[in-house]
Amino acid sequence: MTHGEISPCTWFRNWGLTGELLGSKTLPPKNLLHPSLHLRIHFLEDPSGPDDKATTELQGLAALDAGGGGARASAPPRPRSGTRPGSACASLHVTLLLGEHGGGHRRGVNTDSGSICREASFEGISKFNVNNTILHPEIVECRVFKTDMELEVLRYTNRISSEAHREVMKAVKVGMKEYEMESLFEHYCYSRGGMRHSSYTCICGSGENSAVLHYGHAGAPNDRTIQDGDMCLFDMGGEYYCFSSDITCSFPANGKFTADQKAIYEAVLRSCRAVMSAMKPGVWWPDLHRLADRIHLEELIRIGILSGSIDAMSQAHLGAVFMPHGLGHFLGIDVHDVGGYPEGVERIDEPGLRNLRTTRHLEPGMVLTVEPGIYFIDHLLDEALADPACACFFNREVLQRFRGFGGVRIEEDVVVTASGMELLTCVPRTVEEIEACMAGSDKAFTPFSGPK
Ligand SMILES: [Mn+2]
């Protein structure tokens, strides 16, 4: 088949089927492009309603490209694992469920970005009975739960991006510009992995910039000179066939942790690994955010920055002073993938937690980032010190030593499995592993393995 407009009619014709379009939706081209976009097609013996038993999933829209802003197809959708829908029923009605859900939510809203899907339009759409209430949440759910093929691509993006991070850690030297590391990362991903694009603009923060959560944008384009004694926080991920990776490594610019850098780093490593160890189906994501906060507070007490009761600190939301972002987010075709807040799942209006991009319970097949961090952000610290409910926990002299420290984030990409999680990222994580890698060692290390 040569390139032609994608319209359900075309698909159906290619399949030798007759179809009824109940609703239609033009998805953002990026989403429509991907070969493993899922469409759930219901085969109806009785066109008045879907028969769940006859529901099958098509994995398809293979080899699409977005010429001229509109989606085009070079191949018809293919059924998964040999289910040829044509054989499902003798007399077949295919209902393509395209649309958005209504209810209390705005139609077709991406709960993370706030973007809204555009209405589909093609010649002849007026001949169809359009139902805009159905497909949006269906597709969103399809994107939350990754198939084996999708996981294979995500393992790949993670493997190559992890290798690229290791290259960067070996290459970084005091006196270099941050953007040299960005450039090296992207070069590695493209030249060694065929990954032309990054999942997002690289964040290569050194020194105080490592506490700037979204550093690296056009207004702050990774252009500082890396200095001796800096912590580096490099958050970079390559993308392959639209599938993202999202990995953060934090390390000392000169390759050797100071005692304070080691203490903060190991605090975050402890929370990261505690979270991964606790991940399994049924676990509520906000509980893991709280777990990370709690470990950070314990460690900050141990280091001497804070003192007092952890329960009282939690009440005062002190965790969010040091980790003002969410613990992690869904990852997939978008780096902050969709599906975090389907109908019935609500945001939690508390410092820190309100920044979570999902508050769902974990289920097998979900892919998330685990990215705890501890940052010394002046305006948050000043705010906390000005608030008697928080100020009472701080040892100001010790805190003063950490002003200008920057921050540490450790970001891993994981898949929730039937009984635990699978870690996709493979970069040096312990202090020893990082120092060895930065000294040029290619010695293998054992990546963390939580419960499988
Ligand atoms: Mn992330």
Cα-to-centroid distance, 176 and ligand 1 (Å): 25
What is the C-alpha to C-alpha distance for residues 124 and 112, in angstroms, rounded to an integer?
33
Q: Does the pLDDT value for residue 101 go beyond 70? A: no
- For residue 408, pLDDT beyond 80: yes
Which residue has better confidence, 296 or 20?
Answer: 296
Grade residue 13 by pLDDT with cuts at 50, 70 and 90. very low
Determine the residue type at 403.
R
Question: In the predicted model, is pLDDT for residue 228 greater than 90?
Answer: yes
Distance in Å, CA 159 to ligand 1 centroid? 16
pLDDT at 166 over 80: yes
How far from each other are the two terminal CA atoms of the chain, in whole angstroms? 43
CA of 329 to the centre of ligand 1 (A): 7
Q: What's the CA-to-centroid distance between 200 and ligand 1, angstroms? A: 10
User: What percentage of the chain reaches a pLDDT higher than 70?
Assistant: 76
Cα(408)–Cα(375) distance, integer angstroms? 6
Of 67-76, 211-220, 310-319, highest mean pLDDT? 310-319
Least confidently predicted of 29-33, 120-124, 334-338: 29-33
What distance in angstroms lies between residue 432's CA and the mean position of ligand 1's atoms?
A: 24
| Segment among 20-29, 338-347, 385-394 with least mean pLDDT | 20-29
- Residue 211 Cα to ligand 1 middle (Å): 15
> What's the confidence (pLDDT) of residue 39?
41
Mean pLDDT of 134-162: 94
Q: How far is the CA of 268 from the centre of ligand 1 (A)?
A: 15
Q: Which of 235, 41, 208 is nearest to 138 (CA)?
A: 41
Average pLDDT of every residue of the chain: 81
Cβ atoms of residues 34 and 24 within 8 Å:
no
CA distance 402 to 377: 10
- Using pLDDT thresholds of 50, 70 and 90, give the confidence band for residue 106: low
Q: How far is the CA of 269 from the centre of ligand 1 (A)?
A: 16
CB 263 within 8 Å of CB 255: no
Q: What is residue 361's predicted lDDT score, i.e. its pLDDT?
A: 98
Lowest mean pLDDT segment, chosen from 129-143, 261-275, 401-415, 427-441: 129-143
Beta bridge partners of 243: 240
Q: How far, in Å, CA of 286 to CA of 56, rounded?
A: 33
- One-letter-per-residue 3-state SS of the chain: CCCEECCHHHHHHHHCCCEEECCCEECCHHHHHCCCEEEEEEEECCCCCCCHHHCEEEEECCCCECHHHCCEECCCCEEHHHCCHHHCCCCCEEEECCCCCCCCCCCCECCCCCCECEECCCCCHHHCCCCCCCHHHHHHHHHHECCHHHHHHHHHHHHHHHHHHHHHHHHCCCCCEHHHHHHHHHHHHHHHHCCCEECCCCEEEEHHHHHCCCCCCCCCCCCCECCCCCEEEEEECEEECCECCCEEEEEECCCCCCHHHHHHHHHHHHHHHHHHHHCCCCCEHHHHHHHHHHHHHHHHHHHCCECCCHHHHHHCCCHHHHCCCCCCCECCCCCCCCCCCCCCCCCCCCCCHHHCCCCCECCCCEEEEECCEEECCHHHHHHHHHCHHHHCCECHHHHHHHCCCCEEECEEEEEECCCCEEECCCCCCCHHHHHHHHCCCCCCCCCCCCCC
Q: How far, in Å, from the CA of 328 to the mean position of ligand 1?
A: 6
CA of 47 to the centre of ligand 1 (A): 44
CA 145–ligand 1 middle distance (angstroms): 18
Please report the pLDDT score of residue 399 as a whole number: 98
Ligand 1 center to 293 CA (angstroms): 17
Contacts 24+ apart (CB under 8 A), 391-397: 392/308, 393/306, 393/307, 393/308, 393/312, 393/313, 393/316, 393/318, 394/305, 394/306, 395/304, 395/305, 395/306, 395/307
Whole-number Å distance, alpha carbon 273 to ligand 1 midpoint, is: 16
Whether the per-residue pLDDT at 223 is higher than 60: the answer is yes
